[in-house]
């Protein structure tokens, strides 16, 4: 099994890269998706978040009001640290469970937005970074996701810098251009990953 950490700044196009990897046969473990699952109604995770932030972070239907919680934690690094302390161990445990269910010859892609920020590179056999310039990220967030420019800049500012992400990368996928330029790069990286996975599972 080859364990790959996949990361990139918000708006860099990491989701599209994940989708392509899955289409080639990767096992995807999506930290964002798991982070939503561990705070669903009735979970110990949601109970812990309500304990820490108060019942006002719940929507009328009892689910987590993400925009409200986001507005609290993105404006206050201490509050964000409190949230991370609750959610990250739960996400880590569930990720390990899913990884354990993958076959011995699998390429397991861990899609981890905050891999750089949380110094997680050491958990993986190698790290793939989806890279785009801050100008490209900002344009995509405002134009494609409909974010206000101030919110987009705040989200980008809360993450690691482009240089910090590139510093931990074993492989970099450049997604500054058009979508059709992305696929050949991802396919090339996939060929390398499958080669490494075969070497890992081969006779020692």
**Token output for 39:** 């705070």
User: Are 6 and 130 within 8 A, CB to CB?
Assistant: yes
Q: Residue 54's domain spans which residues?
A: 38-103
Between CA 31 and CA 36 the distance in angstroms is: 9
Q: Are residues 80 and 94 in the same domain?
A: yes
Residue 33 lies in a domain: no
* Residue 3: strand pairing partners: 108
The pLDDT, as a whole number, for residue 45 is 96
Q: Are residues 51 and 130 in the same domain?
A: no
Q: Are residues 11 and 59 in the same domain?
A: no
pLDDT tens string 59-106: 999 999 998 998 899 888 899 999 999 998 999 899 989 999 998 889
Q: Look at the pTM and tell me if it is higher than 0.85.
A: no
pLDDT tens string 175-185: 998 888 999 99
End-to-end CA distance of the chain: 14
Last residue of a domain, one of 51, 70, 103: 103
């Amino acid at each position: 099994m080859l364990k790959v950490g996949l990361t990139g700044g918000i708006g860099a196009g990491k989701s599209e890269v994940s989708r392509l990897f899955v289409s080639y046969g990767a096992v995807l473990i999506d930290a964002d998706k798991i982070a939503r699952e561990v705070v669903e109604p009735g979970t110990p995770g949601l109970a812990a978040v309500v304990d820490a932030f108060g019942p006002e972070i719940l929507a009328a239907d009892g689910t987590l009001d993400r925009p409200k919680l986001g507005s609290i934690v993105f404006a206050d690094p201490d509050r964000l640290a409190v949230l991370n302390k609750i959610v990250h161990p739960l996400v880590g445990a569930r990720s390990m469970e899913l990884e354990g269910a993958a076959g011995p010859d699998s390429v397991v892609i861990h899609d981890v937005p905050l891999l750089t920020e949380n110094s997680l590179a050491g958990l993986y056999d190698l790290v793939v970074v989806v890279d785009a310039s801050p100008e490209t990220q900002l344009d995509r967030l405002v134009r494609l996701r409909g974010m206000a420019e101030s919110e987009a800049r705040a989200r980008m500012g809360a993450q690691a810098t482009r240089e910090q992400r590139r510093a931990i990368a074993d492989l970099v996928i450049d997604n500054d251009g058009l979508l059709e330029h992305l696929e050949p790069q991802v396919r090339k990286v996939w060929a390398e990953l499958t080669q490494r996975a075969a070497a890992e599972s081969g006779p020692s």
